[in-house]
Amino acid sequence: MPEERAGAAWADFVATVEVRNVCEELGYGTPDVRVTPERLLGWFQDPHSPHRLFGVRVDGLIVARGLYEHLADDDTGACWVDARVLPAYRGRGIGSAVMRHVESLARAEDRTHAIVYIVSADGPGPRLEPPTGSGSLPADNPEVRFLLGRGYRLEQVVRGSRLALPLDPGELDRRLAEARVRTGEAYRIRTWAGATPEPFRDDMAVLMTRMSTDAPQGALEEPEDVWTADRVAEHEERSTADGTVLLTAVAESLADGRLAGFTQLAVPPTASAPVDQRDTLVLREHRGHALGMLLKLENLARLARTHPGYPSITTWNADENRHMLAVNEELGFTPMGYEGAWRLDL
């Protein structure tokens, strides 16, 4: 990864991000899925989740990228790999060469299994369903045939959704009032912009850790990702270095003063780009009080007040996560595409 946003290393990194963006936009059919190099750099420099990034050149041009990632302190053996090739350069064996390389890194480190997330554009013909029984992908898509040919199994389908902005302010106020009544008076909603206040960092660390274990993941066996208060602060600083503003809403249980749930919106520095709906979680022991809906509505109301003018919000959810999808659908999110979560036993 480049150490600074200048020079040859930065130019190469930008080129790999463009490969990623072209492939994502082609699969989802919308530029809303594009990300900036500045944003990705913050993620890739996370010491808790080391990344190794590779580029493939043809006649001096980077036309493909490979990615290998794992958790720094994980001993379960899982890792994440990826290969993207610009459309004009497909069919030459580049994707296969990239995947062989990143898979060889995983085997060299004695990883037990590799996980791939890749978008699949809708298409005709037979469908491939995951063991979850929720969602499906076109079985004849090139990326589906490619992964099946390499021994990967489709374990889960993930839905990408989009909410067009602005929301009707009267309707938003009405829904927010109704959600507050449904939740009742056992919880206090708190919101903030920017870094998590120090008194809440320990609880936020618990919530972030539980995101890695409580969210549906089929048979992917993604490892527990343990967070600390210091890691929360470091992550927020790193992921907002490009000017992104984090809007957070949390539910505080009045019974014990601990946080029972949270949701975050990442507002990019450019108002023409979509807002990123990041994690939303209500701890299992606090579910059944409509907290998920209330938290999202509180954050949407804050977004409308403090950062108007953005075109949309994007989010991703496991297709079997019917509760969260129902919340999103009620808010007005509509599907923009689907991706497969694939597993290869090494």
pLDDT tens string 119-166: 999 999 999 999 999 999 999 999 999 999 999 999 999 999 999 999
- 325 in a structural domain: no
- 187 in a structural domain: yes
Specify the number of domains making up the chain.
Answer: 2
Question: Are 220 and 270 in the same domain?
Answer: yes
Length of the chain in residues, anyone?
346
Q: What is the CATH number of the domain that holds 230?
A: 3.40.630.30
CA distance linking residue 99 with residue 309, whole number of Å: 41
Question: Are 245 and 142 in the same domain?
Answer: no
- 32 in a structural domain: yes
Give me the phi and psi of 342, to 5 degrees please: -115, 150
Question: Are 111 and 90 in the same domain?
Answer: yes
Contacts of 15 (CB under 8 A, 6+ apart): 55, 61, 62
DSSP for residue 274: P
Question: Are 156 and 243 in the same domain?
Answer: no
Question: Are 241 and 209 in the same domain?
Answer: yes
Question: Are 40 and 102 in the same domain?
Answer: yes
Question: Are 192 and 241 in the same domain?
Answer: yes
- 327 in a structural domain: no
Residues 229-276 have pLDDT tens digits of: 999 999 999 999 999 999 999 999 999 999 999 999 999 999 999 999
Residues 29-75 have pLDDT tens digits of: 999 999 999 999 988 989 999 999 999 999 999 999 999 999 998 77
Question: Are 190 and 270 in the same domain?
Answer: yes
Residue 186 is part of which domain span?
166-310
- 278 in a structural domain: yes
Question: Are 107 and 220 in the same domain?
Answer: no
pTM: 0.95
Question: Are 222 and 144 in the same domain?
Answer: no
- 305 in a structural domain: yes
CA distance linking residue 167 with residue 344, whole number of Å: 42
CA distance linking residue 170 with residue 163, whole number of Å: 17
- 346 in a structural domain: no
Q: What is residue 3's three-state secondary structure?
A: coil
